[in-house]
Structure formats: C-alpha cells, structure tokens
C-alpha cells in the first residue's frame, strides 16, 4: 500500500534508479519524467483475429487514417475483442500491423523459421527462434532481463497465472536460457520483499541527493579544463564536448518533494497462492500478481517484470459461459477443447462453421482482454512514491501487452501481431492512439524489434538503436525506434 505521506528513499539502489532515469531523460530531451519509468510485459494466449481486435469507427468501418485518437473510435461492435479497454482508451495505444519478421530470416543453422507455439519467446528477445522448440534463444536476453541490468533494482519479477515451466517462456537470461516463472502471488511477493523488509519511517526526512549528484558530475572539471587548453583539433573537441555534456547533467535547485510512502512490509504476504481451480478464479490470481508487481515497483524493489496470463493449457477458455453459448461446443461434442478444436480449426473454417467459431473465439479473447484491464486497474490503484505529482504506478510504467500468436493460419502467425502499449508512455510514446503501421493486406513488414527499441527509449535507454538478433543488427529495416509511436 502507498499513502500520500512523504517518502524516504529506499537506499542506494532506488536512489541510483531515480538518478539514472533523470539523467537519461535530459539526454533524450524528452519531457521531464514525473518519476522513474518501469517496464511490465503481459502476455495472453491463442492468437487473435486482427479484424475483430482493432477499434472501429462508430459506423463499423475501420479507422479512416493511420493515426487516430481512440477517443473517436470504439471497441464496442459485434464480436469485438477489446471491449474491456473502453475505459482505458486515453492510456493505451493500439499498434496495428506489427510483425515478428525476424523469425522468417533464417540466417543461420538450427533455427525454426515460423512463429508458433514456442516461438513467442521472440516477442521480448527480438531474436530468431530455435529449431529445438523447447530450447533456448542462443545468447539473446529478453528485454525485461536486459533492462533490469541497466536500471538497477534488487529483483526481476517473472510471474505466471498457471502455465509454469520454461515451455512458452517470456523471460530469458543473458545466455538466452528460459527463466522459470512464479505462479503463486504469495511466493512472488516473498521474492520481492524479504521477511525482514521494513518500510521507512514516514517521519524520516527526505534525503536531498542533489549536492552529491553535482559533486559526481563536476568532479575533475578543473583538470579537464587545463587538459583542454593544451590540446588541439579533434582531441580538444572531444574534451570540450565531454565537459559540456557533464554541465548539462548538473542539477539546479532542490528536487521536488516526494508525495508517497512505501508501507509494504515483508510480512504482508498475500493470501492468494496461485491455485486457479476454474475459469472464474483467473482474474483473482491475475490481480494478485499485478498488485505484487505494483507494490514492488512502488517500493523500489523492482523496475521490470513479466506476467504471463495462462497458456494454451490448461484450457480454462473452454469453460467460459460465452464460449459455451457460442455454439462451438456443439460442433465438437462433449470433448470440446477451446485450443485444440476451436483455435486450431478457426483459420480454415468457412460459412456457418466460421461464424460459430468466430463467436466463440472472440468471446474467449474478450475474456482475456478483461484480465489485461484488471492489470491496468491494479497498477492505477498504487500511488508512485517517486512521482511529485502524485501519479499512479500505471502513469509511470510502460506496459506492453501482446499475444503469443499473430493473425493467420495456426502455427505460422508472424504477421499482424497484436500489441498494445499502455501506461507511462506519454513522455516519449504516444498514448490514446490507433496506429496503423503498414498496409495490412500488403507484403511490407514492420519488425517488432523497432517496438523493443522504442521501449528502451521510453525508459531512458536512448542510446539503443537496435534490440534483437545479432545477425540483424546492421539491417536498416530493423534499426531505430518505431517512429509512429514516438512523441
């Protein structure tokens, strides 16, 4: 829990994170951040039909232009998937036409040149998928793992609502090895908060780090000035540029007061242990994981996290009343399974069968969108202690929601990959927008690596111009941020 009392910094790690974010924001010349920016990736299963995932005009037509305000569009139409996001339209951006193109490059041996069941690991690594579909990503870390190393915090949280194990993993270490996800919110909390963790006393004065920061920045300036006077040409220009850059980092005045207080103790373990049981408990476990992540972000225990909301198995989607009522179950009988039957057959169906399957498919994905909305709701409930404006954790977190598959035939779904950016992107990323990135029916592709680079910029890593597979680093079409998304 976070109150609106003053917040005492949580030791050197949190201070370093805040300092890093502030300095890099100046270098990027972005709007001043209200607090350090965190990163959360969320994934749901079963692919998506792009035509029922995008927002539409009130008439039912597709958005008229490639960049439109979501406030003038709607998610409420027949078989729409994203109905639950109507209240969040100002805090999300829908990316239409993003592709996991890297899986098709096949630049070296032992690769799987499709996007299917285990290839969704490419969504956060930006790397080509291994031929061993249960294997590793060959020295390609995932974005959460890499950013965790750059931003500095004690814990990298990796959570999953069931679907444990490394099959369909989201997070990969520096060697590209899958990282186990924690399915119990109670155990996730204990990873973030040791049993003896005690929040700071609200009566403690706020530490002013500005004098110390300025001493670091200005250290050795006199010696550099003397060296500059002795040099000529390029070498002198380098010293001059360095001194000028250091001057710009120096803080002026005192930092704005912090407005919150971390009140979470190591003994405040949630009672939710991760057992789902049936479809009706999925949201409860999802919210519990999201609440732990929000608390750990607020208390400086973590800066990055991933949350996997179910996999293809177990098939809780089969139990959803709207799915059962769609008529899809009647097509298959008592052994009907959402994934093996409906999802596998969807892309090859036609006529009345397609209409029935579509109703069930979209109902299942609409249920999943409700879980993502629940994550946004939990982040919005927690005040960010580092934000002088009293903003929430949602305001100061880049949330990247994606699906394991894109649009098209099952197990070859590398195009039109559903992606939504939510939360704290309004400093460097556009929010409240529908962005069509390319001709949806054309052959051009927009590599999702550019989105990963955009996220790097949004959290202060503005020197990053490529994130992903080592064989693609010099390919121009993979480099730089996703410009339509950048402010």
| pLDDT tens for each residue of 226-259 | 887 888 887 887 778 777 766 655 555 544 445 5
What is the band of 25 on the pLDDT scale with cuts at 50, 70, 90?
A: very low
| Greater pLDDT, 365 or 118 | 365
Is 383 within 8 Å of 259 (Cβ atoms)?
yes
- The reported pLDDT for the residue numbered 362 is 97
Distances (CA, A) of 111 to 128, 404, 425: 7, 18, 34
Average confidence (pLDDT) over 76-104: 95
Is 249 within 8 Å of 217 (Cβ atoms)?
yes
What percent of the chain has pLDDT above 90? 64
Phi-psi region of 203 (alpha: psi -120 to 50; beta: other; left: phi over 0): alpha
Average confidence (pLDDT) over 283-297: 98
- The reported pLDDT for the residue numbered 271 is 96
CATH number of 2-209+261-485: 3.40.720
The SS3 of residue 194 is coil
Distances (CA, A) of 126 to 46, 386, 450: 20, 31, 9
Distance CA 158, CA 142 (A): 12
Is 178 within 8 Å of 166 (Cβ atoms)?
yes
What is the band of 23 on the pLDDT scale with cuts at 50, 70, 90?
A: very low
| Greater pLDDT, 114 or 160 | 160
Is 41 within 8 Å of 448 (Cβ atoms)?
no
User: What does the domain layout of the chain look like in residue ranges?
Assistant: 2-209+261-485, 210-254
- The reported pLDDT for the residue numbered 28 is 32
Token pair, residue 41, equals 């990736």
Lowest mean pLDDT of 214-218, 231-235, 266-270, 449-453, name the range: 214-218
Distance CA 434, CA 226 (A): 54
- The reported pLDDT for the residue numbered 450 is 98
Token pair, residue 479, equals 């480099």
Token pair, residue 456, equals 């790097």
pTM: 0.84
For 432-458, write each residue's pLDDT tens digit. 999 999 999 999 999 999 999 999 999
Length of the chain: 487
For 113-151, write each residue's pLDDT tens digit. 876 666 788 999 999 989 887 789 999 999 999 999 999
Q: Give me the chain's average pLDDT, please.
A: 86
For 316-364, write each residue's pLDDT tens digit. 999 999 999 999 999 999 999 999 999 999 988 999 999 999 999 999 9
407's CB contacts (< 8 A; 6+ apart) are 47, 48, 49, 50, 413, 415, 416, 417, 418
Query: In the predicted model, is pLDDT for residue 5 greater than 60?
Result: no
- The reported pLDDT for the residue numbered 160 is 96
- The reported pLDDT for the residue numbered 16 is 33
Looking at the DSSP bridge assignments, the partners of residue 160 are 308
The SS3 of residue 3 is strand
Average confidence (pLDDT) over 205-225: 66
Distance CA 264, CA 49 (A): 41
């Amino acid at each position: 829990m976070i109150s609106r009392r003053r917040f005492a910094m949580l030791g050197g790690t949190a201070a370093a994170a805040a300092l890093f974010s502030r300095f890099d924001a100046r270098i990027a010349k972005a709007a001043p951040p209200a607090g350090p920016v965190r990163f959360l990736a969320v994934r749901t299963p079963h692919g998506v039909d792009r035509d029922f995932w995008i927002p539409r005009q009130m008439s039912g037509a597709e958005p008229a232009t490639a960049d439109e305000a979501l406030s003038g569009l709607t998610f409420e139409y027949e078989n729409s998937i994203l109905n639950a996001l109507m209240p969040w339209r100002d805090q999300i951006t829908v990316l239409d036409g993003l592709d996991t193109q890297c899986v098709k490059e096949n630049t070296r041996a032992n690769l799987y040149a499709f996007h299917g069941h285990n290839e969704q690991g490419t969504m956060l690594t930006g790397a080509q998928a291994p031929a061993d579909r249960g294997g590793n990503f060959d020295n390609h870390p995932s974005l959460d793992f890499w950013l965790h190393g750059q931003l500095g915090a004690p814990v990298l949280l990796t959570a999953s609502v069931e679907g444990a194990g490394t099959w369909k993993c989201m997070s990969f270490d520096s060697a590209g090895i899958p990282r186990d996800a924690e399915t119990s919110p109670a155990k996730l909390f204990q990873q973030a908060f040791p049993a003896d963790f005690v929040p700071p006393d609200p009566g403690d004065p706020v530490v002013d780090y500005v004098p110390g920061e300025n001493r670091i920045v200005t250290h050795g300036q006199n010696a550099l000035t003397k060296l500059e006077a002795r040099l000529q040409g390029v070498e002198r220009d380098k010293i001059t540029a360095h001194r000028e850059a250091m001057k710009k980092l120096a803080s002026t005045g005192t930092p704005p007061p912090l407005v919150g207080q971390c009140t979470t103790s190591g003994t405040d373990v949630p009672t939710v242990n991760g057992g789902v049981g049936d479809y009706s408990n999925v949201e409860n476990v999802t919210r519990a994981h999201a609440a732990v992540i929000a608390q750990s972000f607020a208390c400086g225990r973590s800066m990055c996290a991933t949350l996997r909301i179910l996999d293809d198995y177990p098939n809780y989607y089969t139990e959803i009343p709207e799915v059962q009522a769609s008529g899809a179950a009647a097509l298959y009988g008592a052994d009907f399974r959402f994934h093996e039957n409906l999802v596998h057959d969807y892309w090859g169906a036609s006529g009345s069968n397609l209409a029935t399957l579509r109703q069930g498919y979209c109902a299942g994905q609409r249920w999943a969108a409700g879980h993502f909305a629940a994550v946004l709701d939990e982040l919005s409930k927690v005040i960010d202690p580092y934000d002088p404006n009293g903003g929430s954790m949602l305001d100061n977190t880049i949330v990247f929601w994606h699906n394991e598959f894109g649009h098209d035939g099952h197990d070859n779904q590398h195009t039109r990959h559903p992606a939504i950016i939510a939360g704290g992107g309004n400093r460097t990323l556009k929010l409240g927008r529908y962005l069509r990135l390319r001709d949806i029916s054309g052959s051009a592709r927009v590599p999702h690596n550019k989105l990963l680079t955009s996220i790097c910029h949004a959290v202060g890593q503005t020197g990053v111009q490529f994130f992903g597979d080592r064989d693609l680093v010099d390919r121009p079409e993979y480099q730089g941020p996703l410009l339509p998304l950048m402010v």
